[in-house]
A and B are shown apart, each in its own frame.
Chain A
Amino acid sequence: MKFFLICFTMILFCIRSYGQTKPDIMLEDVLVFKIIGYESKKYKISQATQKPITIKLKKRVFEVDEVQINTGYQKLDRRATTGSVEAISQRDIQYGTSGNLLDRIDGLFSGGYTDRRAYDFNGASQQPNLTIRGESSLIGETFPLIIVDNFPFEGTLDNINPDDIENITVLKDAAASSIWGARAGNGVLVITTKKGKLNQPLAVSVSSNLMISQKPELFSEQIPSSSDFIDMETFLFEKGFYNTQINDRKKPVLTPVIQLLTRHRDKELGDAELEEQLALLRGRDVRNDYLDYVYRNAVESNSSIGLRGGGDKVSYSFSLGYSKNAFSLPTNQQDRITTRFSQTYRPISKFSVAVDLSLSRIAGAMYNISNMVGYDQIKINNKRLYPYAQLKDAMGNNTILYTDYDKSFIDQNQELVARDWRFVPLDEVERTGRKSERQQIIAGLDLGYEIVPGIRIAVQSQLNHAMTESSSMYEEDSYFTRKLYNSFTAIENGKTTYGIPEGGIMDKGNSKLWGYSLRTQLDINRQFATDHLLQGVVGVEAREINNRSLSHRMYGVYNDRNSFSLVDYANTYPLFPAIGGRTYIANGLGRAGTVNRYVSIYSNMNYSIRNRYFLSASARNDASNIFGVKTRNKWSPLWSVGGAWEISKEEFYNLAVMNYLKVRTSFGYSGNVDASIPAELVLQQADYLDFYTNQSFTNIVSLQNPSLRWEKVQTINLALDWKMFKSRLDFTFDYYRKKSFDLIGFTLIDPTLGVSTATMNSAELKGDGVDFSIGSNFTSGRWSWNGVLRTGYNITVLEKYNGRILTVTNQAMNAGYFVGKDRNMLTSFRWDGLTVEEGAPKGFENGVSSTNYLNILRDTPLDNLVYHGSSLPRTVASFRNRIRYRNVELAFTISGQFAYFFRKNSINYSSFFSNWDGHSDVSIRWKNTGDEQHTDVPAMYYPINTNRETFYSLSEVLVRPGDHIRLQDIRFSYSFPSRPQHKIRSLEVFLLGTNLGLIWTKNKEGIDPVYNGAITPSLSLTGGFKIEF
Chain B
Amino acid sequence: MKKATHKICWIIGLIAYSICSCSKYLDIKPDSSFSVPSNLQDLQGLLDNSEVVMNFVTTGLGEMASDSYYLNETSWAGMTNESDRLLYLWQPYSPIASQWTGPYRAILQANTVLEYLPSIKIAASEVQKANSLKGAALFYRAHQLFNLLQVFSFPYDPSGDNEQLGVVLRTEPSLDEEISRSSVKKCYDFIISDLKQSVKLLPNKMDIPTRPSKVAAYAELARIYLVMSDFETSGRYVDSALMIQSDLLNYNTEIIPGASLPFAKWGKEVIFDVNMNGGIALAPSRRRVSASEYDNYTPADIRKKAFFSVNNLGEVLFKGNYNGLNSSQLFCGTTTSEMYLIRSEVNIRRNRLLEAAEDINLLRSKRFAAEDFVPTEFSSQNQALEFIKNERKRELLFRGQRWTDIRRYTVLGEPSGAMIRTAGGKIYTMTPSDIVNYIYKLPNEVVDNGSLTQN
Contact = CB atoms under 8 A, between A and B. Distances in A.
B264 interface: yes
Interface in B57-87: 72-83, 85
B261 A581 contact: yes
A751 B451 contact: no
B51 interface: yes
A943 B444 contact: no
Contacts of A247: 311-313, 315
A540 interface: yes
A727 B432 CA distance: 92
A580 B4 contact: no
Contacts of A758: 175
Interface stretch (B18-26, B289-297, B365-373): B18-26
A2 B285 CA distance: 68
Interface string A843-873: 0000000000010001000000000000000
B394 to A, nearest CB: 23
Interface string A691-707: 11101111111011100
B11 A691 contact: no
Nearest to B259: A578
Interface stretch (A170-178, A395-403, A624-632, A967-975): A624-632
A601 B19 contact: yes
B40 to A, nearest CB: 12
B49 interface: yes
Interface in A559-599: 572, 574, 577-582, 592-597, 599
Contacts of B78: 241, 244, 943
Contact of B104 (A520, A686, A752): A752
A684 interface: yes
Interface string B440-455: 0001111011111000
A243 B101 contact: no
Given A592-B33, A693-B51, A751-B101, A540 B19 contact: yes
A682 B36 contact: yes
B165 interface: no
A624 B83 CA distance: 48
B248 interface: no
Contacts of B265: 572, 582, 692
Interface stretch (A138-146, A410-418, A672-680): A672-680
B51 A700 contact: no
B30 A579 contact: no
A581 B33 contact: no
Interface string B94-115: 0001001100111111011000
A599 B50 contact: no
Contacts of A579: 260-261, 284, 319, 326
A946 to B, nearest CB: 5
B298 interface: no
A243 B313 CA distance: 10
Nearest to B447: A751
A624 B4 CA distance: 33
Contacts of B18: 540, 542
A578 B50 contact: no
Interface string A250-261: 100000000000
Interface string A537-550: 00110100000000
A306 B401 CA distance: 77
B32 A692 contact: no
Interface in A413-469: 451-452, 455, 457
A683 B48 contact: no
B116 to A, nearest CB: 8
B31 interface: yes
B111 to A, nearest CB: 8
B173 interface: yes
B14 A626 contact: no
Nearest to B262: A578
Contact of A452 (B4, B326, B444): B4
A932 to B, nearest CB: 23
Contact of A624 (B26, B73, B324): B26
Interface secondary structure of A, over-half rule: mixed
A239 B445 CA distance: 33
Interface residues of A, number: 91
Given A457-B11, A595-B29, A752-B168, A699 B49 contact: yes
A749 B51 contact: no
A118 interface: no
A681 interface: yes
A250 B285 contact: yes
B256 to A, nearest CB: 8
Q: Count chain B CB atoms within 10 A of each CB in A540, A690, A693, A854 and give the residue with the most.
A: A693
Contacts of A910: 80
Given A522-B11, A947-B82, A593 B32 contact: yes
Nearest to A685: B33
Nearest to A592: B33
A692 B51 contact: yes
A59 interface: no
Contacts of A520: 11, 14-15
B1 interface: yes
Contacts of B72: 243
A864 B259 CA distance: 58
A641 B115 CA distance: 48
A254 B275 CA distance: 32
B46 A697 contact: yes
Interface string B6-44: 011001001100110011011111111111110000100
A945 interface: yes
A669 B111 CA distance: 41
Given A579-B261, A749-B175, A751-B100, A943 B23 contact: no
Contact of A248 (B81, B285, B327, B443): B285
A725 interface: no
A807 interface: yes
Contacts of B49: 686, 690, 697-699
B32 A595 contact: yes
B4 A751 contact: no
Nearest to B93: A854
A582 B259 contact: no
A914 interface: yes
B5 to A, nearest CB: 9
A681 B449 contact: no
B179 A595 contact: no
Interface in A226-250: 239-241, 243-245, 247-250
Contacts of A279: none
A910 B77 CA distance: 12
Given A572-B324, A697-B46, A625 B32 contact: no
B104 A754 contact: yes
B255 interface: no
Contact of A944 (B14, B80, B443): B80
Contacts of B109: 700, 754
Contact of B210 (A457, A692, A914): A692
A87 to B, nearest CB: 31
A451 B8 contact: yes
A687 interface: yes
B170 interface: yes
Contacts of B28: 595, 597, 625
Interface string B321-344: 000111100000000000000000
A703 B261 contact: no
B418 interface: no
B309 to A, nearest CB: 8
Contacts of B75: 244
Given A250-B326, A693-B48, 18 more contacts: A457-B11, A572-B324, A580-B261, A581-B324, A599-B26, A624-B26, A625-B26, A625-B28, A680-B36, A681-B116, A683-B37, A683-B45, A690-B52, A692-B55, A698-B42, A699-B53, A750-B450, A943-B76
5 contacts: A249-B285, A627-B30, A697-B50, A753-B104, A756-B449
The 7 closest A-B pairs by CB, nearest first: A754-B108, A698-B45, A750-B450, A943-B77, A593-B32, A578-B260, A692-B51
